[in-house]
Every structure is written in structure tokens, then in C-alpha cells.
Structure 1
């Protein structure tokens, strides 16, 4: 059964399924499985999905357990549940298509690699901002810290990139919020806190990914942003280097960040066009 959140998830952040908009003969139906990343949601890929759907593709994106709301909901969620949800979503796409492509964002690429290796039949993979190592080495310590520190408060970080990430995530959830309003700032510790247990599961998922990349022999297109602080392009370069297949390409976009597929990112037009060409010409 697909994940059913016990907390309120805004409609735009829920899982979505876009049936093929153009009839296709059996044997030629193409399905696309999209998997979002850590602290993300289906919201981030919906415009890209609608673009692909307009070209006759079936597209499905699940909501990963613990996601779709503020990060405190990650408490109790973890790698096994995320992998199980990716497997469930794979079967949804398989039941509606003859050829499957995957699109992963950040940690979602690891889930996509997992289903590709476990079930086979994946025709190609588009990787957006893939990650193979933690952006901050201190994150490796959460496996120990989680036993005596339940929460991480990123808004207290002295790193400007982390403070910016908090602002982006909050405004992404609710663009109407006045982030600098003192009344809202008073609520920020609760809204932005991340359970260390969830962070540990994220780190464990990244470690799991490093066991998958050397075995992932399928056509791959990798897209990375030069200014991505969450998944610096060195991640994409390392993954590209260990992929065993010959049909692989890596593109790093200058002055681009982590959300390569979203309309507010100027690089998105080139990314969308490349992904569509990869799928439809593959």
C-alpha cells in the first residue's frame, strides 16, 4: 500500500499520478518514475512532470514517509520505509508502461538506483543533483549524537548556506510567511527542527547509495548545479566516475543550485529539454 501520512499534507505536496495524455500502442508505453529527495516533496517535480506528460508520458511521483510537511515529521521515518515506498511506486509505473525511466532528485537518485537494480527493466535514469557523500562531515556523527540529542536546530547554524536553506525550505512550504517577522521567528525553532534520527537515516541512505553506483549499468544522464551547496557537483563527478556503463553523460550548469528542475531556476529549460530528449529518443 502507498504511504498514507498521519499528518496533514498540503494538496500540492502529495503524491501524484499523471496518466498518459496521448494514446500509445501496447509495447510502446513509456512510464516515468520520479523520486524526490530528503526534506523534499512531489511539489518540486510537478512542473517537470506535467511537461513530460504533455508529450504523452505516464508519470508518477510518490510521497516519501516523513515528508510533505515541516521536517519534524521525519521522526520515526527512515531508509527502509523510503526504499519500500520507491518499490511500491515502481510497481505503479510498471503496471502502466512497457518501458520505465526514472528521474531522481538528490537522495531520490539512491532510491531510483535501488529499484533499478532490484527489479531491472529500467530503460534509463536521469539524475538531478545526485549525492554520494554528506555536505558536512559533522553529519557522520549523528549516528552517535541521536542517542542523546533528539533535535538539530539548523536555524542556529553559523553557516550562511544552512541559514539560507532553512529560509528556502520554510518559504517553499508557505510562500506567504513573513520570515523576518519577530512573531514567526519565535516559532522557527519548532518549525525548522530536524530529528537527528531522520538525519541519521539520510546519512545511512547515502552510504547505501555508494554500494549501488558501481553496479548501475543502465543509460544515465546526470545534471548538477555549480552552486549547489546541498549536493556539490563533486558528488555528481564521483558517481559518474564509478558508473560502469558506457552510455552516461554529465552536465554541470554554471550559476545553478540544487533545484535544477524547478521553473524559478534558469537552467530548468535546458534540463527539461535534455530529459525529454533522453526519454523519447531512448
Structure 2
């Protein structure tokens, strides 16, 4: 479902796409799909993606439908729309790369796990990197969403959970409930399909996260079928670790992981 017309896109919300440099990646054309989270936009993950591009990896950072505009616009989109854009970005990477790794922040992590569960080829998904991904929550008000979404258009926003002073992800001040409900309805199906994820997984988790609680971590790390699961702790970051103090650590560990799982 999409609105009849969308408002202008934020200047920093443009997608990012770069070409591979095989001379830096062992003569293989390696791509990394990097996906932002719910109510965020590409700017929230671009420093991460750009650092990987500097290592010779082709990157795709799509703008998920309804993001980078207004929260009212986002309320007209659903999980299926966001997933379709992630799949399209994946296909674009496959056109110019030999092998692809998936990476995502928060809901972006859930979306790339969904893709990893749906794709069987190891070249199409050589590995998965997730940062504070959300596939569950302990919040009790979630049970009321089927009713609340018809009565209240939005809740207070969940953006800018960043420990580093003066940094913003340029997200929405409100969280639209119809879109929230669509995202959360997709979680049980994804959790049930996590055993279909066989690719290596790097799971990065901030020491303090005011957005995604601890319930998602055991669901993901224990249910994926991959025998190659690494947990990375980010000691000096909040939820948006891709803009926070641990970004250098995240970049180094992600680059090392991508190099390892795509070495052929």
C-alpha cells in the first residue's frame, strides 16, 4: 500500500550506491547491502557504508519507502514495501558483484535476516551483519496496537538514541502506529524462519539500547542454523551504533567479517 503522492525527500536521505574495487578485495567483486532502521533514513548508516566502500566493497544503501519524508507518509507503507526495496537493492548489487553480504541496523537487521532466510545461494548471501536488530519486544502496549492504530495515528518517536553528543540520525519525531503494527506482525513469521538462515552471522549489540530490548538477541543467535555466529559487544554506544562512539570498532569488525566470509 502506498500513498497517492509523497512529500519531498530529506536532502540527506538519498540512497547510496558504489562500485566494487576488486584490486582491494582479492580480485573478487564484493558487495555489501546496508539497510537503515524504522523511522530512520540512509544518513543513519552511511558512515558505516562509506567506510566499507573505502575498503573496495560495492555498497547499496536503499531508502526504504516512507522514510526520509514525513511520519505521515510512512504510515501509508508496510513491511512488504520495505522488504521489496531491500530485495531490489540486493538484485542491483548482484548485477555488479560476485558475492554479497547483507547488513542492517534495527528493523534493517530484521529485513536482511528475512532476505537471508529467503535466499539459498551462498554467493547471493555470503554473510549477515546485524546491529541491534529487532524481532521481538517486551512492551505490553504492543498487544493493543491492532486497536490503537485506528484511534491514535502515532506515538512519540524512537530516534536519536545516540550516546555521542551532538549527533542526529535525522529520523521522525513520531512513530506511526499502522506502520509499527505492520513491522511487528512480520516478526513471528521471521522468527519461525530463522533456522533457514545458514550464512555466517555477525551480531553486534550495544551495551545500552533504549529502543530494542534484550529479547531479540537469544531468538536470533540461537535459532539461526548457521554454525558461524559471532557476537560483538559495543560498549560505548546506544541504539544507533552506526553513528555512535563505537563506529570505528563496528567498521573494523564488519570489514574483517566481510573479508573472511567472501574470501572464496
1:125 aligned to 119, 128, 146, which one? 128
- Residues 146-185 of structure 1 mapped to structure 2, 5 A cutoff: 146-147=149-150, 149-154=151-156, 172-173=169-170
Q: Which has the larger radius of gyration?
A: 1
Which residue does 2:32 correspond to in 1? 32
From 236, 252, 257, the equivalent of 1:273 is: 252
- TM-score normalized by the length of structure 1: 0.80
CA–CA distance in structure 1, aligned partners of residues 69 and 234 of structure 2: 29
Three-state SS of the structure 2 residue aligned to 1:206 is: helix
Whole-angstrom CA distance in 2 between matches of 1:133 and 1:113: 13
Q: CA deviation at 1:205?
A: 2.7
Partner residue in 2 for 1:220 = 201
| Contact 1:71 1:193 (C-alpha < 8 Å) held by counterparts | yes
The Cα of 1:102 is off from its aligned counterpart by: 0.6
Structure with more of its chain in helix, by fraction = 1
2:217: which partner in 1?
Answer: 236
**Secondary structure of the equivalent of 1:194?**
strand
Runs of at least 5 residues in structure 2 that lack an aligned partner in the other structure: none
TM-score by length of 2: 0.85
Partner of 1:206: 187
Q: Per-residue deviation at 1:215?
A: 2.0
Per-residue Cα deviation, 1:132-188 (whole angstroms, up to 9, x for no partner) = 2125221231122223x1412417xxxxxx6976xx9x95429xxxxxxxxxxxxxx
Unaligned runs of 5+ in 1: 156-161, 175-190
Q: CA RMSD in A?
A: 2.7
- Report how many aligned residue pairs link the two structures: 251
**Offset at residue 17 of structure 1 (A):** 0.5
Q: In structure 2, do the counterparts of structure 1 residues 45 and 163 end up closer, same or farther at CA, with 3 Å as the change threshold?
A: closer
The question of 1:50 aligning with 2:50 is answered yes
Q: Is the 8 A contact 1:75 1:198 kept in 2?
A: yes
Please list every run of at least 4 consecutive aligned residues from structure 1 whose deviation after the TM superposition is greater than 4 angstroms.
21-27, 162-165
Q: CA deviation at 1:196?
A: 1.8
Q: Is the 8 A contact 1:129 1:233 kept in 2?
A: no
Q: Report the 3-state secondary structure (helix = DSSP H, G, I; strand = E; otherwise coil) of the residue aligned with 1:122.
A: coil
Contact 1:236 1:250 in 2 (8 A): no
Report how far residue 117 of structure 1 moved: 2.6
Q: How far has the Cα of 1:240 moved from its partner?
A: 0.6
| Secondary structure of residue in 1 paired with 2:12 | helix
Distance 2:113 2:175 in 1: 26
Greater displacement, 193-202 / 120-129 = 193-202
CA–CA separation in structure 2 for the residues paired with 1:25 and 1:132: 33
Among residues 142, 145, 148, which one is paired with 2:148 in the alignment? 145
State whether residues 33 and 61 of structure 1, in contact with CA within 8 Å, keep that contact through their aligned partners in structure 2.
yes
Shift of 1:41: 0.9
Could you list the per-position Cα deviations for residues 24-61 of structure 1 after superposition, in whole angstroms to 9, with x for gaps in the alignment?
Answer: 79972100111111111111111111111111110001
